[in-house]
Structure 1
Amino acid sequence: MKTIKTLFTLLLIIPFLSCKNDTPSNGKLNVVTTTSMITDLVKNIGGNHINLKGLMGSGVDPHLYKASEGDVTKLVNADIIFYNGLHLEGKLVEVFEKMGSQTKTPIALGEELDKNTLIGSDYFASNYDPHVWFNIDYFMQFAEKVTQVLIEKDPENEDHYTSNHTSYINKLVALQTKLEGIIETLPKEKRVLVTAHDAFNYFGKAYGFEVVGLQGLSTATEAGVQDVQKLSTFIIEKNIKAIFVESSVPKRTIEALKAAVKSKGHDVSIGGTLYSDALGNAGTIEGTYIGMFEYNVNTIVNALK
Structure 2
Amino acid sequence: MKKILGLIILLGIIALTGCANTNKTDSLTFDKEEPINVVATTTMITDLVNNIGGEHVQVTGLMGPGVDPHTYKPAASDVYTLDEADMIVYNGLHLEAQFIEMFEQFSKRGIPTTVIAEGIPENQYLKVGGEGSSEFDPHIWFSVENWINASRHVTDELKRYDPDHAAEYEENAQAYIKQLVNLSEYIKDRIKEVPEESRYLVTAHDAFQYFGREFNFEVVGLQGVNTQTEAGTGDISGLAEFMVNQKIRAVFVESSVSSRNIEALIEAVNSRGQTLENAGELYSDALGDKEQDADTYIKMYKANIDTIVDALK
Which residue is 1:120 aligned to? 127
**CA gap 1:126/1:57 in 2 versus in 1, 3 angstroms:** farther
Question: For residues 170-185 of structure 1, what are the structure 2 equivalents within 5 Å?
Answer: 170-185=178-193
2:300 corresponds in structure 1 to 292
What is the alpha-carbon distance in structure 1 between the residues aligned to residue 190 and residue 273 of structure 2? 32
Does structure 1 retain, via aligned residues, the 8 Å contact 2:200–2:218? yes
Alignment partner, residue 21 of structure 2: 20
Q: CA deviation at 1:175?
A: 0.6
1:136 and 2:144 aligned? yes
Bigger drift between 2-11 and 274-283 goes to 2-11
C-alpha distance 233-62 of structure 1, shift in aligned 2 (>3 A): same
TM-aligned CA deviation for residue 156 of structure 1: 1.2
Q: Displacement, 1:126?
A: 5.6
Asked if 1:68 is matched to 2:69, the reply is: no
Summarize deviations over 1:234-289 as a string: whole Å, max 9, x none: 11111112000000000111011001111122210001000000000146531110
Residues 282 and 105 of structure 1: is their aligned pair in 2 closer, same or farther, counting only changes over 3 Å? Answer: farther
User: Unmatched 5+ residue regions in structure 1?
Assistant: none
Identity, in percent, stands at 44
For 1:161 and 1:138, the matched residues in 2 are separated by 19
Unmatched 5+ stretches in structure 2:
none
How much does 1:136 deviate? 0.6
SS in 1 for 2:97: coil
- The structural deviation recorded for 1:141 is 0.9
Match of 1:214, SS? Answer: strand
Deviation digits for residues 159-199 of structure 1 (CA, Å, limit 9, x no counterpart): 22111111000000111111100001111100000000000
Any idea what SS the aligned residue of 1:286 has?
Answer: coil
Residues 1:107 and 2:114 aligned together? yes
TM-score of the two chains, using structure 2 as the length reference: 0.93
Partner of 1:10: 11
| RMSD (Å), alpha carbons | 1.8
Please give the secondary structure, in 2, of the residue aligned with 1:85: coil
SS in 1 for 2:251: strand
CA–CA distance in 2 between the matches of 1:283 and 1:187? 32
Match in the other structure for 2:233: 225
Quote the Cα distance in structure 2 between the aligned partners of 1:112 and 1:12.
30
Number of corresponding residues = 305
3-state SS of paired residue (1:204): helix
Equivalent position SS for 2:98: coil
